[in-house]
Amino acid sequence: MNSPDIKKVLDINEIKQYLPHRYPLLLVDRVLDWESGKTITAIKNVTVNEEFFNGHFPHKPVMPGVLMIEALAQTAALLSFLTEGRKPDENTVVYFVGIDNARFKRPVEPGDQLKMQVEITRRARGIWKYTAVATVDGQVAVEADLMCTMRSAADASQSA
């Protein structure tokens, strides 16, 4: 549980300290709230200036589902690092190891704000499991069960 003096909101500059992603693949703009070992709520502001809209689709811009899942995974990674009370270094790699029960319920378009809620459901032997839901204006856009693991870059290159 967070002590009262732990900051529960993170701006983009603080998020960049926890995630290695950068433009155009950094998909979390702000953390609204989090509780260590439990949940996190974050947002992605979707603008027409996103690079992927040039090809998906020029006549009807829609955020690709795989990027909505990636935004949820980045939110999950943030929760994991915050829970462990550490920031990644250049030797830490977070891998996506599974996606189950992914469902896309609503298109996400320019001007939408994707509100992402992720909950840790299990943590064992270096594997983190989460339930994740992203909504727009209270409507579910995507939901999935995610699995991730953290490895050192050296371990990752030896197992490839």
Q: Would you please indicate which residues are annotated as catalytic (active-site) residues? A: 56
DSSP structure class, residue 25 = S
Residue 30 to residue 11: CA distance in whole angstroms: 5
Provide the pairing of β-strand 92-104 with 139-152.
Answer: antiparallel
CA-CA distances (angstroms) from residue 98 to 70, 73, 88, 106, 144? Answer: 12, 10, 21, 22, 10
